[in-house]
Structure 1
Amino acid sequence: MTTPTTMTAAVYRRFGGPEVVRLEQVPVPVPRPGEVLVRVHTSTVSIADHRARTRDVPRGLDLLAAGTIGLSRPKRRVLGMDAAGVVESVGAGVTGFAPGDRVIAMTGSGFGGHAEYVCVPADGAITRAPAGLTDEEAVTLVFGGVTAQGFLSQVSIGPGTRVLVNGASGAVGTAVIQLAKHLGAAVTAVTSGPNAELVTSLGADRVIDYTRHDFTANGVRYDVIVDGVGNAAFDRVEASINPGGALLRVICDLPGMLRSRGQTRRSGKLVAWDVGKPGAAELAQIVSLAEVGHYRPVIDRTYDLADIVEAHRYVDTGRKRGNVVLRITHPHREGQPS
């Protein structure tokens, strides 16, 4: 079937609340040499989409963020940092993928996943979708999984390693729990009380309800603290980290970034905020774990693309658990769900 020339996409032309996102007809991108055009079946609405849409970035990062999301108006008008779907076509020189392949991909700072089609580099974070998982399940492996993998790869985790996950019920937090447990760690999850059952089911050995207890005040030390909230500055948690341990700051402001190298040198404890550039190998590793049941998709809610404003509105509450999935149908194509 011939690829259409236009597609439906969720577009935002100014920063603001959920209502700034609207469905529009835009041109279907054409894959350049080395790119893959993916017919998107699912994406997720993540905290990264919230930050880009609202321009609510950590302290001091306004100018740095401008290069990715824009300064006075959005630089990339279609959000969505991940996609699951089928290869529609490939650009010149691409040999690793062919039309019809089921894939999952991380679009990253290029965004574009909240549309019927998106182009991704063939040598980037794209891999075959896991067998046995639906597209709704498969896409949840991408954003949280790749981010968690990128941070955990900077430390040594094995049997008995004590890992604390701050913000354990989010997309990244639920991924960190599962990846750390797979490596044999003893995991403590910091979340609200209603999420205790979820994080325990994913493998957390202990749960701390942050609404009732401050994990830094109980005298317990950990080998690795993963901060997915942004409130675990090194000065606050240093005493809770074992000698030679690490603080992995998934969310970090500019002062924290600038001080991290000196803090690492002075304390002998790694303070890291850069996820690096995880690619296809890291994504394929998560797929392999999912295929054998060692990594579980975590879906909070699923919305159709037509309900994109409601999806953003829910993510804005800050209460999502795991992933909010966006379902993108192609009713004009035979065999596609409608």
Structure 2
Amino acid sequence: MANYLESIPSTMKGIQLVGHGGLDQLVLNQQIDTPIPCASDVLIKVGAAGVNNTDLNTRIGWYSKNDNDSEDASWAGTALKLPLIQGADVCGVVVAVGERADKQLLGKRVLIEPSLWEVDGKKLQHAWYFGSECNGGFAEYAKVSAKHAHVIECDLTDEELASFPCSYSTAENLLTRAKVKPGDRVLITGASGGVGSAAIQLAKARGAGVVAITSGSKAEGIRNIGADLVVDREQSLVETLGENSVDVVIDLVAGEVWPQLLEVMKPFGRYAVSGAIGGPMVQLDVRTLYLKDLSFFGCTVLEPEVFPNLIKRIEAGDIKPLVDKVYPLEEIHEAQTQFATKKHIGKIVLKIS
């Protein structure tokens, strides 16, 4: 029997993804069964949840490698269990703990680690993503394994804290996998997005120099969050930076300019990628890869130390939340429409309660 902090209603409101396609596939439901935590779970009263590329990509079936076929259109390459509550970025308060979960979590404000290795008390062979392979945080309540609920102690609001989990853990994972160290020169593509802007702050916190690629209209905003040099995405990287000029590339874009990323990398450079918003198919000259002794890292599943390290950075004030706009949960269509314009810097967040 779980221990409850307060009386929990049997039903809750939330946004359900009912199929792949447009915004009409996101439906507000006022009578969703409230999750019941298993022995190793916690139940969280969600305060706020951030909007991510993952939410949009899952909705439209972008992850499918078979023309948006629903059979492989999830983050893990399998069919989704619909209806689904999305939402990977979650801040809230633990209101119930299972009998095997840490009782000290009760009443604590937490951030959910979105890369999951345990769901419904079962260990997973392959990581799931919160709000993709299982229900997430676009609802009044969410459950998750206690091991993935991290206590956060700081003065930031729920909306500010909800800007961190997905984007910042992804960015920290990229930097961790690429072994970014003090003195490295790091090139970051897609620098104005949630992950890109997070990577700027986290790279600077590590003592690295940052070259950020973005549109000209966002250059000042990107400098304000710490970039040492901003390059307009319409410029030639080779002409602007020169060959062999950066130690690490953190790539969120891919697309047509991808070969230039390898040209500007120094010998023994490290390339880490977790996105392809510019297009997933690229041209690779294998000679560049082996003649420059480059290392490539595909980064999806978080390294074990990543989320605890992120919590420490937040509590120490090493990084700051970047919230562009907050919408109520009921306005998720407007929030995702604004998100898709890519005119913002940082995060768009839904206020749940």
TM-score by length of 2: 0.83
* 2:268 partner SS: strand
Q: Deviations over 1:19-65 (max 9, x none)?
A: 32111021011111211111100001111101011112386696784
Q: Which amino acid aligns with 1:315?
A: F
Alignment of 1:110 onto 2:130: yes
Q: Which residue of 2 aligns with 1:251?
A: 275
Output the CA distance in 2 between the equivalents of 1:204 and 1:190.
10
Q: Which residue of 1 aligns with 2:349?
A: 325
User: Unpaired runs of 5+ in structure 2?
Assistant: 1-5, 116-128
Q: Is the 8 A contact 1:260 1:271 kept in 2?
A: no
Deviation at 1:196, TM superposition (A): 1.5
TM-score by length of 1: 0.87
Q: Which residue of 1 aligns with 2:302?
A: 277
Alignment of 1:123 onto 2:147: yes
Q: Which residue of 2 aligns with 1:333?
A: none
Q: Which residue of 2 aligns with 1:55?
A: 61
Of 108-117 and 225-234, the range deviating more from structure 2? 225-234
Q: Which residue of 2 aligns with 1:214?
A: 236
Q: Cα gap change, 1:68/1:182 in structure 2, threshold over 3 Å: closer, same or farther?
A: closer
Deviation at 1:268, TM superposition (A): 1.6
Q: Deviations over 1:41-94 (max 9, x none)?
A: 000111110101111238669678435478777646111012101001111211
Q: Which amino acid aligns with 1:304?
A: P
Alignment of 1:27 onto 2:27: no
* 2:24 partner SS: helix
The equivalent position to 2:185 in structure 1, one of 130, 147, 162, is 162
Q: Which residue of 1 aligns with 2:84?
A: 77
Output the CA distance in 1 between the equivalents of 2:340 and 2:159.
21
Output the CA distance in 2 between the equivalents of 1:69 and 1:33.
25
Alignment of 1:9 onto 2:14: yes
Deviation at 1:239, TM superposition (A): 1.3
Q: What are the equivalent positions in structure 2 for 1:231-242 lying under 5 Å apart?
A: 231=255, 235-242=259-266
The equivalent position to 2:248 in structure 1, one of 224, 236, 241, is 224
Q: Cα gap change, 1:152/1:43 in structure 2, threshold over 3 Å: closer, same or farther?
A: same
Output the CA distance in 2 between the equivalents of 1:238 and 1:94.
47
User: Unpaired runs of 5+ in structure 1?
Assistant: 330-338
Of 270-279 and 179-188, the range deviating more from structure 2? 270-279
The equivalent position to 1:171 in structure 2, one of 185, 191, 194, is 194
Q: Is the 8 A contact 1:163 1:223 kept in 2?
A: yes
Output the CA distance in 2 between the equivalents of 1:260 and 1:251.
20
Percent identity, aligned pairs only?
Answer: 29
Q: What are the equivalent positions in structure 2 for 1:304-323 lying under 5 Å apart?
A: 304-323=328-347
- Count of residue correspondences: 325
Output the CA distance in 2 between the equivalents of 1:110 and 1:179.
23
The equivalent position to 1:153 in structure 2, one of 173, 176, 200, is 176
Name which structure has the greater RCO, CA cutoff 8 Å, separation 6+: 1
Q: Is the 8 A contact 1:13 1:73 kept in 2?
A: no
Deviation at 1:228, TM superposition (A): 1.3
The equivalent position to 2:212 in structure 1, one of 168, 171, 189, is 189
